Chains A and B, each alone.
Chain A
Amino acid sequence: MHRDELRRRAAEHRLHLEGFAHHLLVCSSLGCAHNDALITALRRSVAERGMESRVLIRKTGCMGLCALGPLVAVQPEGWLYQHVRPEDADVVVASLGQQPSEQLLVPPDLPFFARQHKNVLALSGRIDPESLDDYLAAGGYAGLFAALDMRPAEVIRRIQESGLRGRGGAGYPTGLKWATVAKARGARKYIICNADEGDPGAFMDRSILESTPHAVLEGMIIAAYAVGACQGYIYVRAEYPLAVHRLKLAIRQAERHNLLGHAICGLNLDLAIQIRLGAGAFVCGEETALIESVEGRRGIPRPRPPYPAEKGLWGYPTLINNVETYANVGPIIDRGSRWFAALGTEASKGTKVFALTGKIVHTGLIEVPMGTTLREIVFDIGGGIPDGHGFKAVQTGGPSGGCIPAEHLDAPVSYESLSELGSIMGSGGMIVMDDTSSMIDIVKYFIEFCMDESCGKCIPCRVGTAQIHRLLTAFQERTATEADLAQLEMLCDLVKNTSLCGLGQSAPNPVLSTLRYFRQEYLDRISESRQPEDRP
Chain B
Amino acid sequence: MSEPILTLVVDGLQVSGLASETILKVARENDIAIPTLCWLEGLSSLGACRLCMVEIEGSPKLHPACVTPIQEGMVVATRSERLHRYRKAIVELLFSERNHICAVCVANGHCELQDLAVQLGVDHIRFPGRSPQLAVDASHARFVLDHNRCVLCMRCVRVCGEIEGAHTWDVKNRGIRSLIVADFETPWGLSETCTGCGKCVQVCPTGALFEKGRPVAETHKKRPFLPYLMANRAREHR
Contacts and interface: CB of A to CB of B under 8 A. Distances in A.
Contacts of B104: none
A458 B178 contact: no
B89 A494 contact: yes
Interface string B93-106: 11011000000000
B6 interface: no
B93 A298 contact: no
B86 A498 contact: yes
A494 B86 contact: yes
A497 B178 contact: no
Nearest to B60: A497
A380 interface: no
Interface string A272-309: 00000000010100000000000000100011010000
A281 B174 CA distance: 10
Contacts of B171: 298, 456
16 contacts: A302-B47, A303-B47, A452-B175, A456-B152, A456-B175, A458-B49, A459-B48, A460-B50, A462-B97, A463-B94, A463-B96, A466-B97, A467-B93, A487-B127, A498-B53, A500-B50
Interface in A451-509: 451-460, 462-467, 470, 487, 490-491, 494, 497-500
A298 B94 CA distance: 23
B117 interface: no
B67 interface: yes
B130 interface: yes
A453 B62 contact: no
Given A456-B176, A459-B93, A499-B50, A303 B67 contact: yes
Interface in B86-120: 86, 89-90, 93-94, 96-97
User: Most chain-A Cβ atoms within 10 A of its Cβ — which of B61, B62, B176?
Assistant: B176
Interface residues of A, number: 31
A451 B177 CA distance: 10
A506 to B, nearest CB: 13
Given A467-B127, A498-B90, A458 B175 contact: no
Given A462-B152, A463-B97, A494 B176 contact: no
A230 to B, nearest CB: 30
Contacts of A451: 175-176
Contacts of A464: 93
B58 interface: no
A494 B82 CA distance: 10
B184 to A, nearest CB: 15
A505 to B, nearest CB: 9
Which 6 interchain pairs have the tightest Cβ spacing? A454-B175, A456-B178, A303-B47, A463-B93, A456-B175, A466-B176
A457 B67 CA distance: 15
Contacts of A499: 50
Contacts of B175: 451-456, 462, 465
B205 interface: no
Contacts of A298: 171, 174
